């Protein structure tokens, strides 16, 4: 009996050991990379596939083919492949689309041909549960939806997706909203209303494999969770800008169980509207730090380090990048502002609303008439896009630009025009760049953004010396604040000692302010003002005696007192410039839709400016069209005022 019990006990222990072994061997696989090194891999983990891919690519790059008994042709081919792979890795880190495709093909080959671990049509669902939505995270659902839309909409995928799911006007997109959106698009009736047959069940094995490969690529060589978003039609992507800083101080996670950290923060600016993508996350502090360390590198003039704290650069697609880090900032964060490097948007597409022909006509003649133009407004109002559109009206004139970092990409927008762009570097200052520009046969100077005192001095210089006129963008809220801020910048640099002198030169230099607003995602021109410097104002005695014959006794004590009073007034609070409101946008009272309204011509430009603009036109036909257009906009204004007389009187 005792022997029988011992046998049974042994069998039970052996069975349990076998079961444990089978469980462990099923959940783990021993995989060897190209060096023969063993890796313990979780079969259903994208992270481990990424480790395998990275080690395999690294092993291939480390291989020495000289001792492999290869023919000369084989040796040359393998070295060429290694060189191409190394180059593609470097370019993919800058966001180059072609290089990304090459690297993803390498990754796809690795994960589908590994001897011990092979992704196939049978097991791909172990990595991404395409056919089991209840197993998908909100982040996975978001990107599966985005990938599905990209098949039909290309770069406009996010716009169409947000429109169909009602996300465009939201300021926060949560996991629950994504779950509900995914469920909606799983319904054939809803899907067909959106214009698709069955958008979520049309994924072939190759498309699933492409999706998995992208997941692996972005976690190793790409920009993490924002990698796909960079290919969509959004205005800006920001990361790490909300939530608690990670690693800066000790946090009791038990007391703030539901707290969000900066590594969870993904924000986008979508058609002028800020949206927090709460459904997405970088997952760890190390990941957002990795993205910050890589996203700025393409055109960087400086190294992103603890001592520097921030870098302003650009990506290969023309986007402006700003990265910040501790101790300068309280956390690692980045800001990627996308700028269209394709042909610019036509002014007709940007300047809309009833009465828009008044604005388009005036703006065209301000450019052709060589006015110094400021395009002002807060962030996200479309200043740079509007500036690029204005350049369409510059004909037969050489254009030079000065920027902190290349972001306007005018040579891409207007390859047929004579355009040369300059930017600051560690060894070449903006002032040195401007000095060089004076020797490059330029006629029009563009300053991308006037954001500090030095840039303000640049626009004053370029508008007055060595160019016919200048254009720039600025964040001023009004025309008066524009003139005064430029003057304040000149004082800060010590270029002028008296505020009055600084304001005078600013008012004399700046001619037109085109101000943009973003009202509930409606980006539009709010008003256009002319800046008129007040100069050569006669003293009272001069006005009184100007038409009289010279008489030394005519200058009385009373006239002397009037002149004295005028003198002290001029030395204290005399107006140095006037603001002539030319056009303004009128909202209809009680109307909630910000797009409903009309433009009115409040005043014509001053006679002096109209005359100067006309004199700049050398072609007689252009002069005649200018005269006709000035008459036409006044007629359009009369018609609009008649149509909206009720609302104009109420205002």
Domains within the chain, CATH numbers bracketed: 2-113 (no CATH), 133-205+218-248+258-337 (3.30.450.90), 347-534+575-650 (3.40.50.300)
From 251-255, 285-289, 365-369, 526-530, the region with the lowest mean pLDDT: 251-255
- For position 11, what pLDDT does the model report? 44
Q: Across all residues in the chain, what is the average pLDDT? A: 84
pLDDT tier for residue 341 given thresholds of 50, 70 and 90: very low
CA 108 to chain centre: 32
β-bridge mates for residue 29, sequence order: 41
The CA-atom distances, in angstroms, between 303 and each of 294, 296, 300, 316, 319 are 11, 9, 7, 17, 18
Work out the average pLDDT over 495-500: 88
Q: What's the CA dihedral at 129, 130, 136, 140 to 10 degrees?
A: 120
Nearest Cα neighbor of 370 from 515, 512, 474, 465 is 512
Nearest Cα neighbor of 515 from 397, 404, 373 is 373
Work out the average pLDDT over 43-68: 83
DSSP per residue, 35-77: T--EEEEETT-HHHHHHHHHHHHHHHHH--GGGS---HHHHHH
Q: Is the pTM of this model over 0.85?
A: no
User: For 181-223, how does the pLDDT look when each residue is reduced to its tens digit (9 = 90+)?
Assistant: 999 888 888 888 888 877 777 688 998 999 999 999 999 999 9
């Amino acid at each position: 009996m005792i022997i029988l019990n011992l046998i049974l006990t042994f069998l039970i222990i052996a069975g349990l050991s076998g079961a444990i072994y089978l469980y462990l061997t099923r959940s783990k696989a021993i995989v060897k990379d190209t060096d023969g090194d063993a890796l313990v891999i979780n079969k259903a983990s994208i992270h481990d596939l990424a480790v395998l891919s990275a080690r395999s690519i690294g092993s291939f790059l480390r291989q020495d083919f000289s001792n492999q008994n290869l023919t000369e042709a084989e040796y040359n081919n393998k070295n060429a492949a290694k060189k191409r792979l190394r180059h593609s890795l470097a370019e993919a880190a800058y966001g180059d689309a072609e290089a990304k495709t090459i690297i993803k093909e390498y990754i796809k080959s690795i994960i589908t041909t590994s001897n011990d671990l092979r992704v196939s049509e049978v097991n791909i669902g172990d990595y991404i549960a395409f056919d089991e939505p209840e197993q998908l995270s909100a982040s996975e659902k978001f990107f599966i939806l985005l990938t599905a839309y990209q098949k039909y909409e290309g770069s406009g995928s996010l716009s169409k997706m947000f429109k169909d799911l009602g996300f465009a006007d939201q300021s926060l997109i949560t996991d629950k909203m994504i779950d509900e959106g995914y469920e909606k698009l799983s319904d054939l009736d809803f899907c067909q209303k959106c214009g698709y047959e069955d958008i979520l069940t049309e994924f072939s094995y190759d498309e699933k494999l492409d999706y998995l490969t992208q997941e692996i690529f972005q976690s190793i060589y790409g920009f993490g969770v924002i990698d796909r978003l960079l290919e969509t039609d959004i205005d800006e992507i920001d990361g790490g800008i909300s939530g608690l800083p990670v690693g800066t101080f000790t946090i009791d996670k038990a007391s703030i169980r539901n707290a969000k950290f900066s590594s969870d923060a993904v924000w986008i600016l979508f058609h002028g509207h800020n949206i927090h993508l709460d459904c997405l996350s970088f997952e760890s502090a190390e990941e957002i730090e990795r993205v910050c360390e890589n996203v700025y590198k393409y055109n960087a003039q400086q190294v992103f380090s603890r001592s520097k704290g921030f870098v302003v650069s650009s990506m290969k697609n023309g986007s402006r990048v700003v990265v910040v880090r501790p101790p300068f900032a309280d956390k690692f964060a980045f800001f990627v502002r996308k700028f269209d490097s394709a042909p610019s948007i036509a002014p007709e597409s940007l300047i809309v609303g009833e009465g828009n022909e008044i604005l388009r006509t005036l703006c065209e003649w301000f450019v052709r008439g060589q006015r110094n133009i400021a395009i002002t407004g807060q962030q996200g109002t479309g200043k740079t896009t509007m500036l690029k559109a204005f350049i369409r009206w510059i004909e037969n004139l050489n254009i030079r630009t000065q920027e902190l970092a290349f972001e306007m990409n005018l040579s891409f927008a207007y390859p047929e025009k004579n355009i040369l762009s300059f930017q600051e570097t560690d060894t070449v200052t903006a002032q040195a760049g401007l000095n060089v520009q004076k020797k490059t046969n330029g006629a029009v100077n563009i300053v991308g953004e006037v954001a500090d005192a030095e840039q303000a001095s640049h626009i004053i210089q370029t508008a007055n010396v060595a160019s016919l006129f200048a254009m720039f963008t600025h964040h001023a809220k009004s025309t008066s604040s524009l003139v005064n801020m430029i003057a304040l910048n000149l004082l800060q640099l010590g270029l002028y000692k008296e505020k009055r002198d600084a304001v005078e030169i600013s008012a004399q230099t700046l001619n037109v302010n085109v101000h943009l607003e973003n009202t509930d995602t409606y980006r539009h021109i709010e008003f256009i003002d002319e800046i008129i410097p007040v100069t050569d104002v006669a003293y009272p005695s001069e006005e009184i005696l100007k038409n009289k014959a010279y008489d030394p006794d005519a200058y009385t004590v009373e006239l002397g007192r009037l002149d004295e009073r005028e003198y002290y007034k001029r030395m204290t609070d005399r107006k140095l410039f006037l603001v002539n409101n030319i056009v303004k946008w009128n909202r209809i009272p009680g109307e909630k839709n910000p797009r409903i309204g009309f433009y009115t011509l409040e005043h014509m430009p001053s006679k002096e400016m109209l005359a100067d603009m006309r004199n700049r036109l050398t072609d007689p036909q252009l002069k005649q069209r200018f005269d006709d257009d000035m008459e036409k906009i006044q007629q359009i204004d009369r018609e609009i005022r008649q149509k909206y007389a009720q609302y104009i009187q109420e205002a």
